[in-house]
Chain A
């Protein structure tokens, strides 16, 4: 990645620039220290020169020889002090040399002056010498002052330089910090953008993949559907032959022996069973793939309609009692009719031989859901089989005719309507099946019924696919 290396580079640059500036600052500070030391030295020299001045003045008044020695000592030390001051420029060297020479001259002049005076002319000469000494000392003081001024100017200069360097350092640090900040912000933004772009790309790829797969899946489902349809319909043609020719044999080929009649009947029964199986498979596949738009349904009305439609649910074939009131639910009418028909059909079918089926139907509700219960006096179902019976092609007994699809249809259909089905049963004690469905509340408008939905038959499973 580019951005982190750029940041690193800028950090390194900052450090280098800071080091260079620091070295420069040290250099300036060093020269400043040296300069101030010189100023100190020069001040010392100036002080000594002043002392010399004073001493010389008192000596000239008192003419004390002890002071001459002291003056010579001072001059000597001044000379060595001047020697220790190193010149920093040629002009300075000249000045220092001049200074030394002046001092060197002061010594003999003092000695000359100190010689005992003889006569008036001698007094005159001493006065001239004194004047010369004063002048020299004055020049010396001036020169030292000039040297001090030069050094002080240098110190001011160095101070200015230091200030400039510090300001430059601050500016450089501020700029590089800003640069680093800007770079890192930019790199963060860039990283964010890259991530976002990658996110978008991945999302787009995923969407495309999902679309492609969905399309493929739909294609496969469509193929499977038409495949199963054609298989089912092709299966019905030989069935028609079996059934019809058996019937023709029985009815048009003269009186058959009782055995032959029995066989022919078996052929026809087999064909009928096969036909029912095919129709049940068709209606199961319809339940699996159909949409079930929900609407408001009066369960009581629906139940009475179903009971009226089928002889098998009426006396003397069965006693079915509707107990209490029934609410309005949200369901699909065709699917709910199928569920109820199948449950009632099972309730009246699975009874012990010779027993009249008795079925009790009632509703229990809470705030949101209806439980519609069907209690029968049938043969009952073992607990271990309770889950199994809702799977397709599961039959518990061979003594009862059936295809093992009815409850599978109930389970799928009720689940597709957002409900559930369950049971309580024990062998010999009958069964209670119940459907759970959402109640239709007044606030909730019933969804629009899909008109494109093909009209479904309100018949029990056996009748469903006969079109």
Chain B
């Protein structure tokens, strides 16, 4: 699973939080490349391969998206909606990583199709523990769908609705 191309996309508007997450990933021993985009708009550009992120070879689709919710402009929930409505990304594993522990946010995120919901810990050690958990579960244990296969299946299916989230790739 843990191939070098399995990059992690982090959508985070707070530079400090992005930096802390990067440090925590290093401390947790996560070797996967981590790409940080500073907002919802950029996240959609990256995932659709447009704008500053044109060129799939340079900017491959991630295996895992860590998504902040409270961002100015296009919010995390908007990004999640877009991901689920877009055939190429509909089965992406998206984990919400936010400082909000409000029940309403949690419920809405899951209704829209989040695969997980993590609340940011307040210290570096806490973030490191969380990064280790991400590594152990999402990057090692969990089997992610193969987006190329699911995209092909979608193209042949010609169904406008996003496919089920439980769909598994052959990988």
Contact (Cβ within 8 A) B99 A247: no
The chain A residue with its CB closest to the CB of B121 is: A240
* Bound CA–CA A187/B123 (angstroms): 80
* Bound CA–CA A233/B101 (angstroms): 8
Give the interface size bracket for B toward A.
10 to 19
Contact (Cβ within 8 A) B102 A240: no
Decide yes or no whether B59 CB sits under 8 A from chain A: no
Chain B residue numbers with a CB within 8 Å of A271 are 122-123
Contact (Cβ within 8 A) B122 A454: no
Centre residue among A226, A244, A245 by max chain B CB count within 10 A: A244
**Contact of A237 with B23 at beta-carbon distance under 8 Å, contacts A245-B16, A271-B123 already known:** no
**What is the 8 Å Cβ interface bit string for chain A, positions 246-287, against chain B (1 contact, 0 not)?**
011000000000000000000010011001000000000000
- Which of B14, B102, B123 has a CB less than 8 Å from the CB of A237? B14
* Bound CA–CA A233/B120 (angstroms): 10
**Number of inter-chain CB pairs below 8 Å:** 60
Decide yes or no whether B100 CB sits under 8 A from chain A: yes
Decide yes or no whether B103 CB sits under 8 A from chain A: yes
Decide yes or no whether B125 CB sits under 8 A from chain A: yes
Decide yes or no whether B78 CB sits under 8 A from chain A: no
Decide yes or no whether B54 CB sits under 8 A from chain A: no
Decide yes or no whether A49 CB sits under 8 A from chain B: no
Interface residues of A, count at CB 8 A? 23
**Contact of A241 with B101 at beta-carbon distance under 8 Å, contacts A275-B122, A467-B119 already known:** no
- Shortest beta-carbon distance, B77 to chain A, in Å? 15
- Which of B16, B99, B101, B122 has a CB less than 8 Å from the CB of A234? B99
- Shortest beta-carbon distance, B156 to chain A, in Å? 43
The chain A residue with its CB closest to the CB of B100 is: A233
Decide yes or no whether B20 CB sits under 8 A from chain A: yes
**Contact of A241 with B99 at beta-carbon distance under 8 Å, contacts A236-B122, A248-B23, A248-B124 already known:** no
Decide yes or no whether B136 CB sits under 8 A from chain A: no
The chain A residue with its CB closest to the CB of B24 is: A244
Decide yes or no whether A26 CB sits under 8 A from chain B: no
Q: Which of B40-70 contact A (CB under 8 A)?
A: 70
The chain B residue with its CB closest to the CB of A275 is: B122
**Contact of A240 with B119 at beta-carbon distance under 8 Å, contacts A226-B102, A454-B103, A465-B101 already known:** no
Contact (Cβ within 8 A) B16 A240: yes
Chain A residue numbers with a CB within 8 Å of B20 are 240-241, 244-245
The chain B residue with its CB closest to the CB of A243 is: B123
Question: 11 other contacts beyond A239-B122, A244-B127, with CB at 8 A cut-off?
Answer: A229-B102, A233-B100, A236-B99, A237-B16, A238-B16, A240-B99, A240-B122, A243-B122, A247-B123, A247-B124, A275-B123
* Sampled A-B contacts (27; CB under 8 Å): A226-B102, A233-B70, A233-B99, A234-B70, A234-B99, A236-B120, A236-B122, A237-B17, A238-B16, A239-B122, A240-B20, A240-B122, A240-B123, A240-B127, A241-B17, A241-B20, A244-B124, A244-B127, A247-B123, A247-B124, A247-B125, A248-B124, A268-B123, A271-B122, A271-B123, A275-B122, A275-B123
Nearest 10 CB-CB pairs, A to B?
A244-B124, A241-B16, A243-B123, A467-B101, A244-B20, A247-B124, A233-B99, A275-B122, A240-B122, A233-B100
